[in-house]
Chains A and B, each alone.
Chain A
Amino acid sequence: MTNETLSVDRQEIAVDIACVGFGPATAGFLTTLSQTLMNSDGSPAIESRVMPGAPLQVVCYERADDVGFAVSGVVTRARAIRTTFPALNLQDIPLATAVSREELVYLLDPIGASRRPWYMRFADKTIRALRRILPYEKEALRLPYIPPFLRKDDGLLLSLGQFHQWVASQLLASGLVQIWPGTPVAEPLIEGDSVKGVRLADQGVTKDGTPTESFMPGMDILADLVVVGDGPVGPVGRKLEEKFGGSKPSHLNEWAVGMKMVVDLPENCTLPEGTVIHTFGFPEPEIFGFLYVYRDRVASLGIFVPSWFQNPVRSAYRYLQHWMLHPYLWQHLEGGTLRSWGAKSLKESGKLGEPELIGNGFARIGEGSGSTNVLTGSGVDEAWLTGALLAQAVIQLAKNGQTFSKENLEKTYLKLRRGSWLETEATIAQHARNGFHWGFFSGLLGMSLAGFTHGMLHFPRRKKNHRMPSLEEFFKNRIAPEEIAQIRKECYAKGKSLHDALMTKAGWPEIPFDNKLLVSHQDALLLGGKVQAPDSYADHVLFLYPELCDACGVKLCAEMCSGQAITPNPNGGRPNFDREKCVHCGACLWNCTQAQPTDPDKTAVEFRAGAGGLHSAEN
């Protein structure tokens, strides 16, 4: 790290509470906290320790360039959010819409390129044969019954970006907390068994971190409490796991990359406002999809490509397009226009991947703390709740003049969290996905079992992470090894990843670009994502072991890169990384197929805190 090698004049500032990341978790924390920071007579309800006489000094640092540049679905039951805002008026939040109807849809394979096990092909055939009597429409089967754990009857549809803007504007107007976007936090400041604050990323450095003449070493923010809400792939959270344990071996970590669009639906689209559609079965059995209809004929839609989908060229973008083109969805989408696009990782291991939640001087909230529930497909409200609970704990401790020690946080935050609905539901959900380790059918069965029996019955986990099959294994019987070798040679020489060529070869039709909704990956970056990277920071994606990359047969990092920011290096060695295309989805971190020689639970990709990324506030 540059920090150690360079003795630099690093400035410090002291605050009471420093938060890392502005996601729903921190938003919940700051909102709940700010509601009680002042007495009604204008005097501080809790006095600052670092600035006596003033109210608690609370800052929040967010790496993205604006508070609204978040990515999510979102359908949510919003139980915790509504508790914080009892008088929530959806009209105040752009795009917010009440859920009006739900569909759970099994998508058949209309193309024949989907990699389906025999029983699914059989199911498809049967459904087609019985289509007169089944709720069948356009190569899809609408399930007559949606299990209660999946339902969002009383729920809301939100644009997380717009929700964030709305929350942040109230927080700022209160004048009680400061939120600083465009400010990546490099790492926690750890002293012995305590966290003393955070260090911001260095500025004025070249891509490889070398100081330039405008070098400004990242400042140290000293804080009594560091609130870590940096999401699924945040470097601060990962560093804490490394230091304070609780970190789970990688086979317990389950991930997915969610890729989405916001679309102006065509004028003739008849989908009612508030519609929620969830799909499964296509483009691959492992890929789930969602389509939510906001007011004013705008939809949020996308897919999840999970880590247990053992495809060495699992490119979310191409799959997203095939999914949109499925007749059941395309009937609503054809003629629509792309407004926004984005991608982000999801930590799907939930409670199983829960790290150490507290320690001296720090507390973890949100998805990085294992709050996301894969069984109910819900993370926003859960994250918000963890933040709100932590705020309650902080208020209690501060009012009693108690420190933010591990012991005190255990008696307050941890206790509140363990006693909440979040914990009950997370426990039910924790093994819900195990079935997918064994196959698609067992996966669905496992989810239902866990859902209906409240977690009592579930599939066992497979012990070890599967090794990613080689291209030759994966495309066996579909593409000859010589052809793969040829494609590999041609693509790598051009510095291109292989997925497009291989998918086309395997029978996926070319995408008929219409320049409105079906656009090239790069255009999606430009039109929908508006991706940008400020210079002055170091690159945040690093390939630590060039020799591993050189020998790596499936450069999955490049294949699945959400922004085509990583490309194979024609000269071998490290892949190339172009941060101007990176959307900070974090998927390269967990998709890398190689383990570090010294730590088998870590991959060869280092994902650090960086600025820039998406500039869309609608995702």
Chain B
Amino acid sequence: MSEGYHIVVCAGIVPDPLQTLQPVQTPTGWGLKNEMMLPAVLDPWAAHALYEAAHLAKKTPGSKVYLVSLAPKAKLQQVMMTVAQKAAFELVPVDGPASGFTEAFEVASALYEAIMGIAGLDRNKLLLFGGWESASRGAGSTLQILGEMLQIHDQFQGVDECTVNPDGSLQILERVEGGNHQVSVCKGPPVVLGWATGNLPEPPNNPQIGMSNMRTIMPALQKAKTAKIGADGVFFGSVELPKQLRQTRVVKDAQVDEIAREILEWIRK
């Protein structure tokens, strides 16, 4: 595969995970309280997909990385400030909601449109990357649907590793039950890989990459098409925070022995 891959990474944005989230009903359906005020980050698993993509592209000359993202333009722009220094990519933005309460099918349709609009994209080189689940919808569905739309039937989810064999085939490790990995070998692109954490650390901030990315990111954002995304056919009865405060009994000043016995008793109960 000397000509390299066309790696399309689909990544949404989600509220910075440490923020306090509260569901509220809005005129357009369910959403988060102060959604526009919350700082956002690239969806964590999808971010890993991006790092893996950048890593693979670097090892495979001639490769290209596209970051396809459906999110409110202003928020996406802000997230780009922290992402664009991490990996070289071409941004393909779609202006639309980042809410978790939208339907995966509709999101996949918008992403499909965007991907079909990428000039020069070669299906025979296509690796469709993303997070196996978003941190918002948590549906674990979008990539599969998108894969179907693109008629890619080699799909992998919960991927922690993808290596290229000398013959160009791909060895893929997927998370399965019991902390194990399922090992598969696929002949090559096109494939869909829904990434879990992977093995790569977050890349350092590289100002050079950032500056060159920004030259294409800003114009792309300015031209971003708007997509109408909702949840057609889905009826939410309720959305609630779990009531989960327990009455904690705090045991202070107890002897270690006493504590150990109490724990043992509890385990055996």
A and B: interacting chains:
yes
Residues of A within 8 A of B (CB): 11, 13, 59, 61, 65-69, 94-95, 162, 165, 168-169, 172-173, 175, 178-183, 200, 203-204, 214, 216, 219, 221, 339, 515, 526-527, 530, 532, 534, 536, 615-618
Residues on the A chain within 8 Å of B166, using CB: none
Contact between A65 and B82 (Cβ–Cβ < 8 Å)? yes
Among listed B31-39, B94-102, B148-156, B227-235, interface-contacting one: B31-39
Contact between B82 and A530 (Cβ–Cβ < 8 Å)? no
Among listed B137-145, B177-185, B189-197, B214-222, interface-contacting one: B214-222
Q: A178-B214, A527-B20 are in contact. Are A69 and B204 (CB under 8 A)?
A: no
Q: A162-B37, A172-B218, A615-B39 are in contact. Are A183 and B207 (CB under 8 A)?
A: yes
Residues on the B chain within 8 Å of A617, using CB: 37-39
Q: A94-B36, A530-B18 are in contact. Are A181 and B82 (CB under 8 A)?
A: yes
Contact between B205 and A13 (Cβ–Cβ < 8 Å)? no
Contact between A180 and B210 (Cβ–Cβ < 8 Å)? yes
A515 CA to B202 CA, complexed, in Å: 34
Contact between A182 and B205 (Cβ–Cβ < 8 Å)? yes
Within 8 A of A (CB), among B200-216: 201-202, 204-208, 210-211, 214
Looking at the assembled complex, report how far the CB atom of B221 sits from the nearest CB atom of chain A, in whole angstroms: 8
Q: A172-B77, A530-B16 are in contact. Are A66 and B204 (CB under 8 A)?
A: no
Within 8 A of A (CB), among B12-44: 16, 18-20, 34, 36-39
Other than A65-B82, A173-B222, give 6 A-B pairs with Cβ distance below 8 A.
Answer: A169-B77, A173-B77, A178-B210, A183-B205, A615-B16, A615-B39
Q: A13-B208, A530-B16, A532-B18 are in contact. Are A180 and B201 (CB under 8 A)?
A: no
B163 at the interface (CB under 8 A from A): no
Residues on the A chain within 8 Å of B201, using CB: 214, 536
B85 at the interface (CB under 8 A from A): yes
Looking at the assembled complex, report how far the CB atom of B261 sits from the nearest CB atom of chain A, in whole angstroms: 25
Q: A180-B85, A180-B210, A617-B37 are in contact. Are A214 and B204 (CB under 8 A)?
A: yes
Instruction: Tell which of A67, A532, A616 touches B81, judged by Cβ atoms closer than 8 Å.
Output: A67
A59 CA to B78 CA, complexed, in Å: 15
Residues on the B chain within 8 Å of A169, using CB: 74, 77-78
Within 8 A of A (CB), among B86-141: none
Residues on the A chain within 8 Å of B222, using CB: 173, 175
Contact between A530 and B205 (Cβ–Cβ < 8 Å)? no
Contact between A11 and B208 (Cβ–Cβ < 8 Å)? yes
Contact between B34 and A66 (Cβ–Cβ < 8 Å)? no
Contact between B39 and A183 (Cβ–Cβ < 8 Å)? no
Contact between B16 and A175 (Cβ–Cβ < 8 Å)? no
Contact between A13 and B207 (Cβ–Cβ < 8 Å)? yes
A94 CA to B36 CA, complexed, in Å: 9
A243 CA to B78 CA, complexed, in Å: 36
A203 CA to B85 CA, complexed, in Å: 13
Residues on the A chain within 8 Å of B36, using CB: 94
Residues on the A chain within 8 Å of B34, using CB: 94
Residues on the B chain within 8 Å of A221, using CB: 207
Contact between B78 and A172 (Cβ–Cβ < 8 Å)? yes
A173 CA to B34 CA, complexed, in Å: 22
Looking at the assembled complex, report how far the CB atom of B126 sits from the nearest CB atom of chain A, in whole angstroms: 29
Looking at the assembled complex, report how far the CB atom of A443 sits from the nearest CB atom of chain B, in whole angstroms: 38
Closest residue on chain A to residue B80 by CB atoms: A172
Closest residue on chain B to residue A338 by CB atoms: B20
Cross-chain pairs A/B with CB under 8 angstroms, 17 sampled? A59-B211, A65-B82, A162-B37, A165-B78, A168-B78, A168-B81, A169-B74, A169-B77, A173-B222, A182-B82, A203-B204, A203-B205, A204-B204, A214-B201, A216-B206, A530-B19, A615-B18
Closest residue on chain B to residue A94 by CB atoms: B37
Residues on the B chain within 8 Å of A615, using CB: 16, 18-19, 39
Residues on the B chain within 8 Å of A339, using CB: 20
Looking at the assembled complex, report how far the CB atom of A300 sits from the nearest CB atom of chain B, in whole angstroms: 14
Looking at the assembled complex, report how far the CB atom of A512 sits from the nearest CB atom of chain B, in whole angstroms: 15
A173 CA to B221 CA, complexed, in Å: 8
Looking at the assembled complex, report how far the CB atom of A226 sits from the nearest CB atom of chain B, in whole angstroms: 15
A614 CA to B211 CA, complexed, in Å: 26
Residues on the B chain within 8 Å of A200, using CB: 207
Contact between A536 and B81 (Cβ–Cβ < 8 Å)? no
A59 CA to B245 CA, complexed, in Å: 47
Q: A66-B82, A168-B78, A183-B85 are in contact. Are A219 and B208 (CB under 8 A)?
A: yes
Instruction: Tell which of B18, B20, B81, B219 touches A180, judged by Cβ atoms closer than 8 Å.
Output: B81
Looking at the assembled complex, report how far the CB atom of A18 sits from the nearest CB atom of chain B, in whole angstroms: 10
Instruction: Tell which of A67, A216, A618 touches B78, judged by Cβ atoms closer than 8 Å.
Output: A67
Residues on the A chain within 8 Å of B82, using CB: 65-66, 181-182
Residues on the A chain within 8 Å of B81, using CB: 66-67, 168, 172, 179-181
Residues on the B chain within 8 Å of A67, using CB: 78, 81
Looking at the assembled complex, report how far the CB atom of A52 sits from the nearest CB atom of chain B, in whole angstroms: 16
Closest residue on chain B to residue A176 by CB atoms: B218
Residues on the A chain within 8 Å of B245, using CB: 515
A518 CA to B150 CA, complexed, in Å: 53
Looking at the assembled complex, report how far the CB atom of B235 sits from the nearest CB atom of chain A, in whole angstroms: 29
A345 CA to B39 CA, complexed, in Å: 23
Closest residue on chain B to residue A527 by CB atoms: B20
Closest residue on chain A to residue B85 by CB atoms: A180
Contact between B78 and A66 (Cβ–Cβ < 8 Å)? yes
A23 CA to B66 CA, complexed, in Å: 33
Closest residue on chain A to residue B19 by CB atoms: A530
Residues on the A chain within 8 Å of B74, using CB: 169, 173
Closest residue on chain A to residue B213 by CB atoms: A178
Residues on the A chain within 8 Å of B204, using CB: 203-204, 214, 216, 536
The 3 closest A-B pairs by CB, nearest first: A530-B18, A203-B204, A175-B218
Residues on the B chain within 8 Å of A216, using CB: 204, 206
A509 CA to B134 CA, complexed, in Å: 46
Looking at the assembled complex, report how far the CB atom of A395 sits from the nearest CB atom of chain B, in whole angstroms: 22
Looking at the assembled complex, report how far the CB atom of B203 sits from the nearest CB atom of chain A, in whole angstroms: 8
Residues on the A chain within 8 Å of B18, using CB: 526, 530, 532, 615
Residues on the A chain within 8 Å of B37, using CB: 94-95, 162, 165, 617-618
Residues on the A chain within 8 Å of B206, using CB: 216, 219
Closest residue on chain B to residue A529 by CB atoms: B18
A306 CA to B204 CA, complexed, in Å: 37
Residues on the B chain within 8 Å of A178, using CB: 210-211, 214
A179 CA to B214 CA, complexed, in Å: 10
Looking at the assembled complex, report how far the CB atom of A69 sits from the nearest CB atom of chain B, in whole angstroms: 7
Closest residue on chain A to residue B214 by CB atoms: A178
Q: A172-B81, A173-B77, A181-B81 are in contact. Are A13 and B16 (CB under 8 A)?
A: no
Residues on the B chain within 8 Å of A165, using CB: 37, 78
Closest residue on chain B to residue A515 by CB atoms: B245
Residue from B34, B81, B85, B208 having most chain A Cβ neighbours under 10 A:
B81
Residues on the B chain within 8 Å of A95, using CB: 37
Looking at the assembled complex, report how far the CB atom of A89 sits from the nearest CB atom of chain B, in whole angstroms: 16
Closest residue on chain B to residue A11 by CB atoms: B208
Residues on the A chain within 8 Å of B205, using CB: 180, 182-183, 203
Looking at the assembled complex, report how far the CB atom of A600 sits from the nearest CB atom of chain B, in whole angstroms: 37
Looking at the assembled complex, report how far the CB atom of B206 sits from the nearest CB atom of chain A, in whole angstroms: 7
Residues on the A chain within 8 Å of B19, using CB: 530, 615
Residues on the B chain within 8 Å of A180, using CB: 81, 85, 205, 207, 210
Looking at the assembled complex, report how far the CB atom of A572 sits from the nearest CB atom of chain B, in whole angstroms: 27
Looking at the assembled complex, report how far the CB atom of A53 sits from the nearest CB atom of chain B, in whole angstroms: 14
Looking at the assembled complex, report how far the CB atom of A318 sits from the nearest CB atom of chain B, in whole angstroms: 20
